[in-house]
Structure 1
Amino acid sequence: MATAQPAPSAPPETAGPSPSGHVPGADGAARRPPGTAWLANRWVQAAAAIAVLAAGYAAARALGTPAWLGTFPDATGQWLIARLDGVYTWIVANRNSSPLFLYGFNYVSVGLGSAVILVNQALVLLTWPGVVFAGTLAAWRVAGWRVALLVLATFAVFALTGLWNEAMTTLALITTSVLIALIIGIPLGILAGRSDGFHRAVRPVLDFLQIMPAFAYLMPMLLLFGIGNPAAAVATFVYAVPPAVRITALAIRNVDAGAVEATTSLGSTPWQILTKVQLPMAKRTILLGVNQTIMLAVSMVVIASVIGAGGLGDAIYQALSKVNVGQAVEAGAAIVLMAIALDRVTGAAGDGTRTPLLPAPWRRAAPAVGLAAATAVAATARLVGIEGWPPAWSISFSGPINTAQQGVQSAIGDATGAFGDLLLVGVLNPLSALLTGTPWWLVVLVAAALGAIFGGWRTAATAGAAVLATGLLGVWENSMDTLSQVLVAAAVTLAVGVAVGILAARSDMLAAILRPVLDAMQTLPPFVYLIPAVALFSVGRVPALAASVVFALPPVIRLVNDGIRGVSAHAVEAAVSQGSTGGQLLTKVQLPLARSSLLLAVNQGIMMVLSMVVMGALVGAGSLGYDVVFGLKQNQLGLGLTSGLAIVCLGVFLDRVTQGRRSNA
């Protein structure tokens, strides 16, 4: 449809649409004086909001911080913490008499604890030769001989490091939690895939669960189920179930509509459509969800050592608390290999291309033959008196590792210490002082302003309310200190990740080199990243920030690389044909067209940094993470729960601001 060009003398109010389709005067843009278009730039507006924050801080300091320019009043928070402590006291006094626990949570606790013990006893009954044989055989049958060798090497590490029993405890807890997550998650995913209404209802719940940092799950589970495996199993299940639901729903919804219509036209019932068409066609994607569920369970089981889960996570936690890098490396290597082995086996099951080919009769008989062989191996081992791995056969590498770590510290300790001091004194402490020393109401207003700038008024309301809630919970200063750590680590992560992602997108060789490295890094449980950070920087906020940066880099690099590579080849060719240089091609074509992926990278990087910064409390990072751990250890429910809720509020604030920008991209 043709559009009339505005007459030169026409006033702005009556001018027609511009060639670009924008109606002058619709949003005031056309009436903006020449040379002021930069004021509409969101980043300029964000910088202005930060400048207002700095001005408020300076004013508060200049006026001697009067009450109305001071920190958040703690009356509401103290009242809430006292009430929550009262709830904890009531629960402790009534856990064995209240119907809520007698006929509810206690049954769940006993059932989960019994399930974990049952799986663990089954592994003990198999004996270590039986477990090794069954695990290696299953890995070969599903994923081929290379993965079978990896599984065998994993069992060898469990045994030789003297961590066999801890590894079996962790494996039993993972097995129990994953089975519960799949039994509940896959049916919910199927329902969400077949019902638009249920999908709309469950989506915000899944979003909320995936925003919550892992540490925030611990205190509620400890309150309801006490210390031990039941609380750890529930926390792991809740943390791991979202991908099972989300990916199953996606798989069902992506089944070819033509196949469903053809089956329906033949008179198939809904159950027949599900079992004969949708589930078989969605099998590969659903197995990807199973893989993601298992990997999240591995991550959470390690973190759940804080509430008495035991196993390999407890071995890492105890080693880090004593700054025993050697023991931490041994336990870390065991959990890393377990995570990689589980990832490779379940990934191969979903792929289906690495399964060894067997003749049809052997293929049908393989499960029964394998079970019989594993039973025979276990029975033979028990007959000769073999059960668990003999401690005398274990080899400890902690001594040499500690010696090497001390050598590294003596060689570069001064340099890393100087860097840490520079980071603390020059960046982190000033930013923390800015956020904690600025009037609280101004911080809330700036948070809302950032939400409005990047996502609109709904995002502004959510962002402002989330930041305000951290003060109402009584942990304002620690929340702001945690936020300062997140912002510093996120800035480093995004600077490095975007740069490396751009280089990878422009170099196939670098992308090929990085791919297996990033795969391995994303397989590692987050807890493990603290070990090398402590080895280099000892304890404190600096190792927590270093671990956060390394932990969050892989998704940022991947998303930037994929986004730039996904830019239309026609757009790139057109720019090159116009004589664009490599820099112009990147800044004028590729980065703008990859904007959605870049903003998703920002969101994912910041959220992963938050989860890791909070976990850094285990190595002395302090703030909200420390309050959670302290509350868990000292039975101070009020402090631990309010700190956990504050972590969630920071997650909501950071997620909504970054997602709001992405949704407007």
Structure 2
Amino acid sequence: MTQPATAPAPNRGEPGGVGGGGSLLRNTWVQASLVIVVLVAGYWASRALGHPAWAGGFPTAVGDRFMSLLDEIYAWIVVNRNNSPLFLYFFNYISVGLGSAVVLINRFLDFLTWPGVTLIGVILAWRAAGWRVALLVLVTFGVFALSGLWNESMTTLALVFASVAIALLFGIPLGILAGRSERFYRGVRPVLDFMQIMPAFAYLLPFVLLFGIGNPAAAIVTAVYAFPPAVRITALAIRQVPKGALEATASLGSTPWQILTKVQLPLAKRTILLGVNQTIMLAVSMVVIASVIGAGGLGDAIYQALSKVNVGEAFQAGLAIVMLAIAMDRVTGAVGKGGRESRVPENRRLPLRGALLALVVAVVAVARMLGVGGWPRDLAVDISDPVNALYDAIQDTIGPATAALATWLLENVLGPLADLLMNSPWWLVVLAGAALGWIFAGARAAVVSGASLVGVGLLGVWNDAMDTLSQVLVASVITIALGVLIGVLMSRNDVLAAVLRPILDAMQTLPPFVYLIPAVALFTIGRVPALVAAVVFALPPVIRLVDDGIRGVPAPTLEAARSQGSTRRQLLTKVELPLARGSLLLAVNQGIILVLSMVVIGALVGAGALGNDVVVGLAQNQLGLGLASGLAIVCLGLFLDRVTQGRRPSRA
């Protein structure tokens, strides 16, 4: 009779091993804790010495000169925008072209009238995804109309169409090139990685500097923000085409162009359409944020409502954005799966298309003859007053409790942590960041982490950056704790997973701007609602990654552990979580990056710090402060990304 296999003893040299004092010091979390202890000790030592200059915040001289230089550049651009050849023959042409494209699309939507636009949307949804999604699209247009936001919705749609067209025009060809050229793929991948860790707010100011305030800047910044998935997923689709199909086609004498158009693109079509879906969803997300730089539309309606703390108006506009995002996701997702066109017999497709086109033309013609345009505002249903009444009732009922919670969080968690980071010796904070990068991700991450924090200091916004970092750390701890807990519960209970998955899908569809509305309704204005919105915004991907990671643990491994008498808790802590380490690290990484992006946007509801500097820079033409803060946000994102990526497995 064979003896049951025993679990391998932990490697004394690996993190998590136990044994003597030397092995304890090699434990990752012990090392990280020692770094934190040193940082806290340095803070108290500096405080005891009265915060001397050598043990205080980052010197601001370099940052002040940098901001002054940026202000001078901006002033030069303002003076020479209509004189410099660079603007006359390049940026101004792009600006006029993009502005004209958005205006033309908007005018075309107006020309179609509200019945025509609605009919076209419903027909396209029906052909792509069936009657259920068509009904969803009909409800979406109904929300646009009855909320009194029809014109704003059409403006948002025009911006989305223009920006997605730009993103796909450049993204798909570059993705094809990356899929066919390994050298180009290796060169473009770090650029895409960098673009995807940049918070949305950081994109705004550079394009304002080049294109000014208005639709052109909003369209181009939205296109650039939505660009990475178009390239990345197209490249992935091309690279996943079976080599056997390529070799068979090449053996028949096909040219590279024929291989691309007859084999690679047809076989990669569904995956490429998934990239189109992701591009559209990112565009919807960014075009709302771009309201800060004059994009108008639904985002501007939310922005104006939140600035007046009018939860009712913000709710109306937020509902319209939510419906738009969900409808576009369902329609474009269905197109990626093949749609319903293929179910129609070949000999009936052309007559069906002709009949539908004739119906659209007839409806638009009749509407134009009757003088119909956008939905009349006097037929709108204003629900802002009931929502505001509900908001007042909520504040009267739980307002004191949420205010007390917010005060406690500010005084006992956020305040002390921000004070620690801002008033510790700056060089000690940099060394601590580099040390954490080395502990969790290796020497290269240590260099990048330290350099990123030094970059923050050289930009002259050290204190605001440390304030932002403190908010990110607090929100990230809450997000990861809740995400791991809920993810573990999902992996244990299929019924709970079936209930939560559609909810998480819907949450991941929503633009981040929308999460600020319920947070303000509960906590009014300040840092705490920004943190609450950040936690809720970042939770869905964390939960799903934890659930997927645990469910991906091989069943034979679990059976072997159970056969040795392991309890459910031991299975989780000794088998499932260690084997799901890759998914857990990705969950932590994605959670923290998403928290950072949302905390920065939280400046619109009083979160302050770097996000507020960006808003002030935009509102008061302080482009030096705004651009420096935007670059600091990028540096913080790079620091947090590198620290949480984990060590790459060594190559055999």
**Normalization by structure 1: what TM-score?**
0.95
Q: Using the alignment, how far apart are the partners of 1:47 and 1:85 within structure 2?
A: 42
Once the two structures are TM-superposed, the CA of residue 70 in structure 1 deviates from its matched residue by 1.0
Of 560-569 and 63-72, more deviation after overlay is shown by: 63-72
2:620 is matched with: 634
Provide the C-alpha distance between the structure 1 equivalents of 2:649 and 2:189, rounded to a whole number of angstroms: 17
For residues 71-93 of structure 1, the C-alpha deviation after alignment (integer angstroms, 9 at most, x for no partner) is 11110000000010000000000
Structure 1: runs of 5 or more not aligned: 1-18
Is the Cα contact below 8 Å between 1:599 and 1:658 reproduced in 2?
A: yes
Single out whichever of 389-398 and 637-646 deviates more from structure 2.
Answer: 389-398
Q: Distance in 2 between matches of 1:663 and 1:639?
A: 41
Amino acid at match of 2:93: Y
- Correspondence for 1:299 among 279, 285, 304: 285
Q: AA paired with 2:164?
A: V
1:578 CA drift (Å):
1.1
> Which of 269, 289, 301 lines up with 1:315 in the alignment?
301
Answer whether contact 1:607 1:651 (CA < 8 A) is retained. Answer: yes
Alignment of 1:49-60 (within 5 A): 49-60=35-46
Q: Within 5 Å, which residues of 2 pair with 1:341-356?
A: 341-352=327-338
Counterpart position of 1:449: 435
Letter in 2 for 1:443: V
1:179-578 residue pairs with structure 2 within 5 A? 179-352=165-338, 357-578=343-564
CA–CA separation in structure 2 for the residues paired with 1:87 and 1:556: 41
How far residue 150 of structure 1 moved from its aligned partner, in angstroms, is 0.2
Q: Is the 8 A contact 2:585 2:646 kept in 1?
A: no
Equivalent-residue separation in structure 1 for 2:284 and 2:626 (angstroms): 23
CA contact (8 A) 2:14 2:26 kept: no
Cα 1:637/1:483, change in 2 over 3 Å: same
- 1:601 lines up with 2:617 in the alignment: no
Q: 1:650 is matched with which residue? A: 636
Distance in 2, matches of 1:231 and 1:208, equals 21
Deviation of 1:365 (Å): 3.7
| Shift, 1:387, TM fit | 1.2
Residues in 1 aligned to 2:551 and 2:414: alpha-carbon distance in whole angstroms: 35
Between the aligned partners of 2:595 and 2:546, the Cα distance in structure 1 is 17
Q: Residue 534 of structure 1 contacts residue 619 of structure 1 at CA under 8 Å; is this kept in 2?
A: yes
Which residue in the other structure is 1:10 paired with?
none
- Corresponding residue number in structure 2 for 1:590: 576
How many residue pairs get matched?
Answer: 642
Q: Relative to structure 2, which stretch is displaced further, 147-156 or 368-377? A: 368-377
Q: Any residues of structure 2 matched to 1:140-155 within 5 Å, and which?
A: 140-155=126-141
Query: What SS is found at the alignment partner of 1:659?
Result: coil
Deviation of 1:357 after TM superposition, in Å, equals 2.8
CA contact (8 A) 1:74 1:474 kept: yes
Query: How big is each residue's C-alpha offset from its partner over 1:277-311, in whole Å with a ceiling of 9 and x where there is no partner?
Result: 11111111000000000000000000000000000
Residues 247-283 of structure 1 deviation map (CA, whole Å, 9 limit, x = unaligned):
0000000011111111111111111111111111111
**Separation in structure 1 between the aligned mates of residue 141 and residue 348 of structure 2, nearest angstrom:** 27
Q: Counterparts of 1:524 and 1:74 in 2: how far apart (Å)? A: 39
Tell me the distance in 2 between the aligned counterparts of 1:413 and 1:264.
Answer: 70
Paired position in structure 1 for 2:81: 95
Contact 1:455–1:664 at 8 Å: present in 2 too?
no
Alpha-carbon offset, residue 21 of structure 1: 13
Alignment partners' CA distance in 2, 1:214 and 1:551? 14
1:374 is displaced (CA, Å) by 1.3
SS at match of 2:646: helix
Counterpart mapping for 1:125-144 below 5 A: 125-144=111-130
Residue 104 of structure 1 and its aligned partner are, at CA, apart by 0.6
Q: Shift in Å at residue 351 of structure 1?
A: 1.1
Any conservation in 1 of the 2:106–2:155 contact (CA below 8 Å)?
Answer: yes
Change (3 A) 1:365 1:244: farther
Shift of 1:364: 3.2
Root mean square deviation, CA, Å: 1.7
2:4 corresponding residue in structure 1? none
Q: Which one-letter code corresponds to 2:300 in the other structure?
A: D
The CA distance in 2 between the partners of 1:20 and 1:328, in whole Å, is 57
1:174 aligns with 2:163: no
CA distance in 2 between counterparts of 1:367 and 1:447 reads 61
Q: Aligned partners of 2:123 and 2:470: how far apart in 1?
A: 49
> By how many angstroms is 1:373 displaced?
2.0
> 1:391 deviation in Å?
1.4
Q: C-alpha separation between the residues in 2 aligned to 1:443 and 1:153?
A: 52
Deviation at 1:54, TM superposition (A): 0.2
**Structure 2: any 5+ residue segments left out of the alignment?**
1-7
One-letter identity of the residue aligned with 1:583: R
Given the alignment, which residue of 96, 110, 113 partners 1:124?
A: 110
Per the TM alignment, residue 222 of structure 1 is displaced from its structure 2 partner at its CA by 0.5
Report SS of the residue matched to 1:660: coil
Q: 1:41 aligns with which of 14, 27, 32?
A: 27
CA separation in 2, counterparts of 1:73 and 1:376? 69
| Alignment-mate amino acid for residue 36 of structure 1 | G
Q: Determine what percentage of the aligned residue pairs are the same residue.
A: 69
In structure 1, what is the equivalent of residue 53 of structure 2?
67
Q: Which moved more, 1:153-162 or 1:383-392?
A: 383-392
How big is the shift at 1:35? 4.2
C-alpha deviation, 1:37, in angstroms = 1.2
SS of residue in 1 equivalent to 2:607: coil
For residues 481-518 of structure 1, the C-alpha deviation after alignment (integer angstroms, 9 at most, x for no partner) is 00000000000000000000000001000100000100
Structure 1 stretch 141-150 or stretch 371-380: which is displaced more? 371-380
> CA offset at residue 431 of structure 1?
0.3
Matched, 1:659 2:649: no
Q: Please tell me whether the aligned partners of residues 447 and 463 of structure 1 are also in contact (alpha carbons under 8 angstroms).
A: yes
Structure 2 counterpart of 1:525, which letter? P
Assess if the C-alpha contact under 8 Å between 1:141 and 1:355 holds in 2. yes
The alpha-carbon deviation at position 38 of structure 1 amounts to 1.4
d(CA) in 1 for partners of 2:342, 2:302: 37
Q: Give the AA of the match of 2:485.
A: A
SS class of match (1:323): coil
Q: Matched residues in 2 for 1:349 and 1:462: separation?
A: 41
Cα pair distance change 1:33/1:303, threshold 3 Å: closer
Distance in 2 between the 1:177 and 1:189 partners? 17
Residue pair 2:465, 2:632 contacting (<8 A) in 1 also: yes
Deviates more, 1:344-353 or 1:294-303: 344-353
